[in-house]
Amino acid sequence: MSEILEQIKTCPIDEIMPMHPEVLACPALMNRRLREEAPVFQDPMSGIFFISRYADVVAMAQDHQTFSSVMPGTTTRAVNSDDQEVVDLLEQGYPNVPTMLTQDPPLQRRYRKFVDGAFSPSNLKALEPYIEQISNELIDAFADAGQCEFLNDFGVPLPLKVIASQIGVPLEDLPLLRKWTEAFIGNLSQQLDREGTLQAAKDILEFQHYFVEKMEERRRQPEDDILSKVVNASIDGEKPLDNAECLSMLSQILVAGNETTAGSLTEGIWLLIENPDQYELVRNDPSPEMISRLVEEVLRYSSPSSNMFRRTTREVELHGVTIPENSVCFARFASANQDDAQFADAMTFNIMRDNLKDHVAFGKGVHHCLGAALARREMNGGFKVLFERLENFRLQPGAIEPQFAPNALLHGLIGLPLAFDVR
């Protein structure tokens, strides 16, 4: 364990550095101390208020009138940087505008309704054979080798192929979608240096120009896909969405539709390796019910969307702390999912716990994840095929323990060098 993480165990609570890269990568120790000692904690560096207990996070997520998703002083630039080269580059593209994740009701609901149909139960049910087909094809590509880099060979391409088919992007453009996803994630991470920020801006600009061209095609000739629904939508019949609004929605759907599921699939396999007793439960009974239990506990424990920004619309008093109006807060979903007050022995990975679905991995309230049902189907289908085809999951010989990427909002493994036996 690093020196920074060791210090978290004993340092005064006000000396914790929650935005330090090593803490962002491994936040569990800090989250526990915050839940126990400072459930409302203001980071002295950023000024952000961290809300860490389950009950408070749920209440916060369900009160959008008090905890708004529209941030104060939000820039219209797609990459939040004052670097003149970045600013000049982004002038060639479209501004960042608040839509689904970054907007409040009633406008937020109107944006969401344009794509709700794509995630209807009937549409998702129809996707199940496709999800299993992709899973089998991916395994076919690496099964004979007896090993793979699981994140890149399975975790990423499964949800990426599914969301590409739903948006209406040809499969040959998957590398572009992955590159653009990484650019958006890097921008959210708040960990990029100048070179990384500039590259993210270039990639996001490329994303914008690519999809504006696709949008013009769908305006001329609509198809049965999310892209057509978005570009031909209008708000209460008043006007079609403009390009900036469409791009905002598409970027949110793209990132939410593949990054978090890829992370949960990958960490799920790692959690089974780390917890062989739980692995044996599923291995001995790979029924739909048991795999569903696995999925829900992986979602709780991994919490790929670990934090979400909120802004107070009024002064709030919580646990004796006054949070002023227009303060930026973090709803710490990952911390809430590891709260012993809600989940007995929360830091133990246990697929047989009674309240599996109480987790807030998909948020709560009006911003409950639009793609939650899709993510569940992808994970259930992916794990089903993995257990049918492979067994004895383990790290590749000589591989070091997988590491997590530092990110202010998302949490996931950098990679997973996996070895296995073919059934």
| Lookup: tokens for 211 | 């999809």
User: In sequence order, what DSSP letters do the residues of 287-323 get, joined into one string?
Assistant: -HHHHHHHHHHHHHHH-SB--EEEEESS-EEETTEEE
Predicted TM-score (pTM) of this structure: 0.92
Q: What is the mean pLDDT of the chain?
A: 90
Q: How far apart are CA 288 and CA 286, in angstroms?
A: 7
Query: What does the pLDDT average to over 339-366?
Result: 95
pLDDT band at 415 (very low <50, low <70, confident <90, very high): very high
- Given phi > 0 = left and psi -120 to 50 = alpha, else beta, which region is 285? beta
Query: What does the pLDDT average to over 284-300?
Result: 97
Domains of the chain: 1-52 (no CATH), 53-328+338-371+388-422 (1.10.630.10)
More confident residue, 187 or 272: 272
Task: List the one residue out of 350, 421, 413, 348 whose CA is nearest residue 391.
Answer: 421
Q: How far is CA 356 from CA 33, 301, 342, 350, 411, in A?
A: 24, 10, 10, 9, 20
Question: What was the pLDDT predicted at 301?
Answer: 96
The sign of the dihedral angle between the CA atoms of 188, 96, 235, 241 is negative
In sequence order, what are the residues at sequence separation of 6 or more whose Cβ sits closer than 8 angstroms to the Cβ of residue 274?
349
Q: How far apart are CA 285 and CA 389, in angstroms?
A: 14
Measure the N-to-C terminal CA separation of the chain; round to a whole number of Å.
Answer: 36
